Structures are given as C-alpha cells and as structure tokens.
Amino acid sequence: MILQEVLEEAIRLRESGQSELSLALLDRAHADGFRSPWLEDNRARALLELERVTEACHLWRQLADSGADKDASAAAAEMLALIQLKQNKQHQQEVLEEAIRLRESGQAELSLALLERAESDGLDDGWLQDNRARALVELQRHQE
C-alpha cells in the first residue's frame, strides 16, 4: 500500500466511525517506515475521535512546531486553536453554572468572587457579565 492509499483509507475509516481501525492502520504504517506530516495529522484526528485529547494535542504541537510541511503545520495549529477554544467555552460554561448556583443559594458574595476570578483569568462572556451584575444587585451594590 502506498502512502496516499494509507492516508485515504485512514480518513475513510475515521469518517465512517472506525477511529480505532484508522489509528491501528496509521500505527502500522508508521511501524512499516511510512512518514508524512499528514499521517501524523490524521493520527491526531483519530486520537481526538477516541477522546484521547492530550495525545492528539501533543502530536499537533509537534507538527505545528516542525514546519516540515507548511499546510500540515497550519492545519495542526488550527486544530490546536479549535481545541483551546472549545475547552475555554466549556470552562466558561462550568464557571457560569457554578456562579448561578452560588447566587441562587444565597451566596452572592462567593458567586461574585468566582466571576471576578474568572474575569482576571481572561474569561469574558456576556453571560458571565450578566451574572456578575445580578450578584452585585443582590448585594445591593447597584452603582457597580
């Protein structure tokens, strides 16, 4: 099997929901001496589908830093950015849910502290600001 065929089959397997087989094929190709940044990219994609995010990110970081293939490096950097964005949104949602829970359980000061910490950590979202305002109102701090 030539490199392009391996790549196409790995993609087909992954896209048909057979990420474990895709990964096994890519691992076998690597063991057989096939090397390509696109094989590594697809290996990372299979790992991501298998919820092995840390391993996928490690491969994409190596690929992005290698510069061996501009397009593959750019694709890896894009995937890393997408994962970071998803993780940030997930974290924002968790903070928001906890802030609401605290405020609704009569702990507006803790809710406000959590939201202020999130803001100082770089999280900024309209819903976080809305809940910050709600906590301030509950604390009778209307000016703020």
pLDDT digit string, tens, across residues 60-104: 999 999 987 899 999 999 999 999 989 988 989 999 999 999 999
Q: Which residues contact 25 (CB under 8 A, 6 or more apart)?
A: 6, 9, 10, 13
Higher-confidence residue of 144 and 47: namely 47
What's the distance, CA 64 to chain centroid? Answer: 16
Q: Which two tokens stand for residue 70?
A: 């501009």
Query: Looking at the predicted structure, is the pLDDT value of residue 119 above 70?
Result: yes
State the chain's maximal CA–CA distance in angstroms. Answer: 71
CB 136 within 8 A of CB 109: no
Q: Could you read off the pLDDT of 20-45 as tens digits, one per residue?
A: 999 999 999 999 999 999 999 999 99
Indicate the pTM of the whole model: 0.72
Q: Which residues contact 125 (CB under 8 A, 6 or more apart)?
A: 92, 96
Predicted pLDDT at 1: 66
CB 78 within 8 A of CB 48: no
